[in-house]
A and B are shown apart, each in its own frame.
Chain A
Amino acid sequence: MPNSVGKRFKPTKYIPVSTAATFLVGSTTLFFVFTCPWLTNTISPAVPLYNGVVFLFVLANFSMATFMDPGVFPKADEDEDKDDDFRAPLYKNVEIKGIQVRMKWCATCHFYRPPRCSHCSVCDNCVEDFDHHCPWVNNCIGRRNYRYFFLFLLSLSIHMVGVFSFGLLFVLHHMEQLGTLHTTVTLVVMCIAGLFFIPVMGLTGFHMVLVARGRTTNEQVTGKFRGGVNPFTRGCCGNIKYVLCAPLAPRYNGVDPRKKPPVSIQPPFIRPDLSDRQISIKVSNNGIHTSILQSKSKISLDGLAVDDKGLDTQPPLPPKAERYNQLKSQLTSSQDSSLSGKTHPSTPAMYKYRPSFGTIPKVHYHAAGEKIVMPDDHRKASAILEEGRCHVDYRSEPNLDLPDYRNAPLHRSFQSSPLQLDSYPINSSSLNLKQAHQRRDKGQLPVLQPETVTSTPYKSVFSPLSNRNSSLSYDSLLNPSISPATAAECMAHPGMPSMGSHSPYLPTKMCHVRGPEPQIQKQQVPPSFSPVGMGMSRGRQSPQDRDLSPVRYDNLSKTIMASIQERKEMEEREKLQHHGGCSQAQSYAQAQDSGMFDSSGGYGLPPSACYPDSPRDPSSRGPTPPAYRGSRDNLMGVVSYGPRTPVLRSSGGSSLARAPRTSSSSLHTDSSMQGGRVPETPCRSPPHQPHHSPAKPQSPSYTHKKLSFIHALERTDSPRLGGPREAMMQSKVNGQTDCHLGPNSSSAQGTTLSPSRHSNVKKVTGVGGTTYEISV
């Protein structure tokens, strides 16, 4: 075989065409030789002439159908499929005259097959307007040669009818000479014609129907338009006209490079004026991050802007969580779209259907450009994330002002209303009220971004801790690659990645904030008290956080206020760190662990033993420190008694328990104000984690967030705080946790959890009326 391995000479594929050609030519020749002379003499010379013309027509169309390029698409260059291979879905939807048509990715040819195009496995090519592969002509029938094939069928049918009829005429006139050569041959020819008559006529009739309907064989056989409308039809007459009279389509393959004179391209290049194009970028920016924003792809910003606008239309402090839910769903969908690429790296050929494309029925192939942008988006987002992270991770000073955060991309999305300041101190990604005020002046930040916003304060609050905390470093490590995704996922906003990246805590926080609902909590991350811990947990969980529980604004606001309070507490704690009481953290952690299980919804863990009667006995700081509200998304480990008993327990226990788990060792350290505990907490976290994992789905991880010190405080203060706080807390079903930091120095706490852990409990009243207890 002279051919390469890839293209073997297969004689078998030439058998049908050879047979057909042989029969056609042979029979007709015999007819002309043996039958036509008598016919010419008997009837008229027009008979052979007519038959000759028809036969010529048949041959011409047969040759065209056999040798003409059916409309093969040349395989795409590598550059063209670069975007598509690894990030694109298997199908793209395109709308043709109002009807959705699916374009499938061709793995062989590396492009999305145009409508009506199909890949022929015999020829190993994608063919335009693919009809079928005809073995009798050994060629695909496509756009360019369908007319010839159809005419071949028509003319062959006519030819066969003619040959058969004239042969019959001859035989009828030579009945008595059936043994003679001429008659015999004519009979044979008649038999052949008769034999192929049925299939050929059947096929001709079939294609006549197809032509009238404007369908291809492929479409008819696969039943594409069985119940629906054919978008390619032009009406019966239009279809017939199209088949017969359309101009011959050009060849794509074998197009000679068309030696054109080369075009010289020399720099310098003319650039258009870009001034007006960047205005939109700057608008949502408070001006600090102009450079960052400009580096981002426009689409991401536009996406942000869109969401922002959506948020702006809502009242600054939506009283209901529904709005937030709407926003979140909004975000989630867009987030899914934007993140689909990240989550599905397989090629379209692997039949991964990406939700992003699937859910968007419009002409997706438009987004060749968009697809290019998306990687940009991610890349730039990650770049920005890195920047943001730098701001966050490496800040060591517990500076409340957090001027760097202003630069956070969060800015873009934070157009929180002034009213939200309390609830979302983060607006500007910092707990700094001053900054928040500044931001207010900038205008309304999108309500949407409360998540991001909330996360910011955490970042700012705990930034000082982060340096001390190994967990923080983990967070920062967490995501050079993941943070964008994490953040994005948490944020549920395509434009958010930058923001999320800004602080490793942000995603955590966002998730945290979002998941106040008990059942949704995927974020089980133990909401360790430290934002770091939260960030970490969030970071880990964010991929899971697809369905975020709706966050109530009232809860959120409290959360944010709590975060603000936390910052203050942090400062206080730092002062108090020098106090002793190592055991406190541990005991609290234990208690909280158990509590967490309870809160998680009845995993019924041991803690119940520890907190036997918390629910019933508000005064007893037993199992459920009053400060522990079961609220899931409590940032501060709200403590509440009463109805939330199981929650309470968890909250109480969880705060400490989670804290270690989330490796919020720093938190523990801080909370407990005892340096000695630091080494212990990290040890604690791992063992706790497995425990809490079951709890996670149920209890919002927010329970984790209880600061360890809060537990201590809460326990002490439970009797005092329980009442009013209970009322507050009960109103928050989602378990918004308020941090109650109270300067409660002694009493209650040790009783149930660990008497030895008594520490000074300091109560700090937050802005929103939440009180935080800091165990000193």
Chain B
Amino acid sequence: MSTEFHNLQELRHSVSVATKVFIQRDYSQGTTCRFQTKFPSELDSRIERTLLEDTVKTLNSYYAEAEKMGGQSYMEGCLACATAYLIFLCMETRYEKMLKKISGYIQEQNEKIYAPRGLLLTDPIERGMRVIEVSVFEDRGSSGSSHSSSVSSGGISQR
């Protein structure tokens, strides 16, 4: 799965996913979608705290807005009920729109901030909104340059 969106083979320098760091959900406020803003220590040497925390906070705000029970969600529900839910075939719900926005945001963050640091954020929707997966890449040319936990390296090799 890592090869879906990483053109690793096309790169001059070979990189490999050394490990994956998972930012877990923050359930302290219920089951609304929130991710922990606690900075994982494995990324200490790879990225500044503020950058990652900003990203996570922005994602949290997007998710909060997507799940907001306001006028728009109520109208959508009534409309769907009235049309016997046929409206879902034509229209995109607000949540889905937010998800697209989030996906675009993550893509942009990856391009601008994380890829230059050898990291890659995975959209949480692909993981069931349970974790934000941060893939840590290592430059094969300089092995050991970034020394992160090697726990999942074996797992990665299995993929």
Contact = CB atoms under 8 A, between A and B. Distances in A.
Interface in A58-116: 59-60, 63-64, 73-74, 76-80, 82-83, 94-97, 101, 111, 114-116
Contacts of A59: 84
Given A114-B25, A265-B8, A366 B38 contact: yes
Interface string A352-392: 00000000000101101111110110010000000000000
Contact of B44 (A252, A274, A366): A274
A247 B158 contact: no
A179 interface: no
A270 B116 contact: yes
A223 interface: no
Contact of B22 (A80, A96, A252, A270): A80
Contact of B73 (A245, A277, A297, A373): A245
Given A101-B27, A255-B126, A363-B28, A372 B111 contact: no
B27 A260 contact: no
Contacts of B38: 366, 369
B42 to A, nearest CB: 6
A271 interface: yes
A363 B35 CA distance: 13
A262 B125 contact: no
Contacts of A376: 149-151
A250 interface: yes
A427 B89 CA distance: 73
A338 B17 CA distance: 27
B6 A266 contact: no
A257 B103 CA distance: 11
Nearest to A268: B139
Interface string B83-123: 01100100001111001000100010011000111101001
Contacts of A111: 130
Contacts of B30: 96-97, 231-232
A115 B69 contact: no
A616 interface: no
Given A269-B116, A372-B42, A373-B42, A80 B125 contact: no
Contact of B129 (A242, A252, A268, A373): A252
Interface in B1-47: 1, 4-8, 10-13, 15, 19-31, 36, 38, 40-42, 44-47
Interface residues of B, number: 84
Contacts of B8: 265
Contacts of A249: 95
Interface in A263-283: 263-272, 274, 277
A262 B8 CA distance: 10
B137 interface: yes
Contacts of B128: 73-74, 128, 252
Nearest to A95: B28
Nearest to B123: A258
B21 A266 contact: no
B146 interface: yes
Interface centre among A56, A258, A369 (most CB of B within 10 A): A369
B133 A80 contact: yes
A241 interface: yes
A294 to B, nearest CB: 10
B149 A262 contact: no
Interface string A220-263: 00000000000110000000011011111110100101101111
Contact of A246 (B29, B67, B118, B155): B67
B152 A83 contact: yes
**What's the interface size class on A, roughly?**
35 or more
A342 interface: no
A271 B6 contact: no
Contacts of B123: 258
Nearest to B122: A77
Contacts of A365: 24-25, 27
Given A247-B66, A257-B4, A269-B118, A80 B77 contact: no
Nearest to A249: B95
B131 interface: yes
A267 B139 contact: yes
Contacts of A101: 27
Contact of B45 (A248, A261, A272): A272
- Among B24, B44, B76, B103, chain A packs the most CB atoms within 10 A around the CB of B24
Contacts of B73: 245-247
Nearest to A369: B40
A255 B100 CA distance: 12
Contact of B6 (A95, A242, A265): A265
A269 B149 contact: no
Given A97-B29, A269-B46, A247 B154 contact: no
A299 interface: yes
Contact of B85 (A64, A231, A250, A369): A64
B4 A373 contact: no
A64 B146 CA distance: 50
A298 interface: yes
Contacts of B137: 265, 269
Interface in B135-159: 137, 139, 141-142, 146, 149-152, 154-156, 158-159
B129 A82 contact: no
Contacts of B5: 257, 260, 262-263
Nearest to A376: B149
A272 B130 contact: no
A368 B131 contact: yes
A147 to B, nearest CB: 8
Given A257-B4, A267-B141, A272 B46 contact: yes
A158 B152 CA distance: 55
A263 B76 CA distance: 35
Given A232-B31, A249-B95, A269-B46, A80 B158 contact: no
Closest CB pairs A-B (n = 10): A269-B118, A267-B139, A369-B40, A60-B84, A73-B128, A247-B73, A372-B149, A252-B128, A368-B22, A79-B155
11 contacts: A57-B84, A74-B128, A79-B20, A262-B7, A263-B115, A265-B11, A265-B120, A272-B44, A297-B41, A368-B24, A376-B150
